Amino acid sequence: MQSASSIEEINAKIKAESAFVEKLRQEISKVVIGQEYVINRLLIGLLTNGHVLLEGVPGLAKTLTVSTLAKAINLKFQRMQFTPDLLPADLIGTLIYNQKDMKFYTKKGPIFANIILADEINRSPAKVQSALLEGMQERQVTIGEETFKLDDPFLVLATQNPVEQEGTYPLPEAQVDRFMMKLMVDYPTREEELEIMRRMARTEKKESVSACITREEILRARAVLNDVYMDEKVEKYIVDIVFATREPEKYGLNGLKTLIAYGASPRATIYLNLAAKAHAFLNHRGYSTPEDVKTIAYDVLRHRIIPTYEAEAQDVKTEDLVRQILNSVNVP
């Protein structure tokens, strides 16, 4: 248990270090209209070094939001369009033989950047999707016999179309679990749509984003994130939520036992903790609350709970399962 004075000190420190957040949001809003939920979650991913998967129908500014965020921060950005004929070497690089001196040379691929936009990631076959795995988990890439460390920060922000759409391949569970959050991008409101039309229905675009945040500021914010205070009761609340996905009957959720094939992995516990702290940081607070956990729980859990065939037959979505769990687990 931390003293009131030490929490006040942490609060003051977090307020000072999180001052850049409003400046960053303001810069992004020059180009992106609305999408506050998506922008907040992308910032959480950036602060916690967690990869983010965005799902939504085409035309909802998923690509625009990610590229605008990268431009607003002075980081190296690469956009990769995933297609059915893409090869792993197109992503990570390959060895090229030079006949003149009879040696192999490494040609690095686009993965060697700070922010990777993997656009329509589920339009490529599994071998290409799995090529991302080493980079996402180990922050390194192996080409031939050599292993190369990736730059810090390194963040994969992937967009995908709904699986029901034609020409899509479902992502392997092992890869999906590497994404800290899965975001469901929805249509804009009437007011936002009106503003989008007024601003974008032009033959030339005037709005542009300039880099207002440095790499050093992001790395410093990441270091400060570790100081955000989380009470033991909130930590136990996180563990209870994750265990309720695995053993629902112990939390009075007997009806979910036949609907959940596999519960969330320990990565969910780690990411719920980190994302709750980052959510507090974005709100200029030096302590995290159960409300922070509940706010980001859907994004961290929706791709980690595997429903049974029975759940699919009853048209029960993972969103519904998470909602029932959050409503049943006691809040401290």
What pLDDT is recorded for position 1?
52
- The token pair at 214 is 């440095």
- The CATH code of the domain at 228-328 is 1.10.8.80
Query: Beta strands 229-230 and 287-288: pairing type?
Result: parallel
Say which CATH superfamily domain 4-220 falls into.
Answer: P-loop containing nucleotide triphosphate hydrolases (3.40.50.300)
> Which stretches of the chain drop beneath a pLDDT of 50?
none
What pLDDT is recorded for position 292?
93
How far is 122 from 166, CA to CA, in rounded Å? 11
What pLDDT is recorded for position 205?
66
Task: Give buried/exposed letters for 16-50 (b at 16+ CB in 10 A, else e).
Answer: ebbebbeebbebbbebbbbbeebbbbbbbbbbbbb
What is the value of pTM for the model shown?
A: 0.87
Which of 284, 229, 219, 228 has the alpha carbon at shortest distance from 19? 284
How many CB atoms within 10 Å of residue 100? 5
* Residue range(s) occupied by CATH 1.10.8.80 in the chain: 228-328
Which of 48, 52, 119 has the alpha carbon at shortest distance from 271? 48
What pLDDT is recorded for position 181?
93
What pLDDT is recorded for position 277?
94
How far is 166 from 22, CA to CA, in rounded Å? 39
What pLDDT is recorded for position 2?
56
β-pair partners for 179: 51
What pLDDT is recorded for position 44?
92
* Residue range(s) occupied by CATH 3.40.50.300 in the chain: 4-220
What pLDDT is recorded for position 52?
92
What pLDDT is recorded for position 5?
56
What pLDDT is recorded for position 295?
92
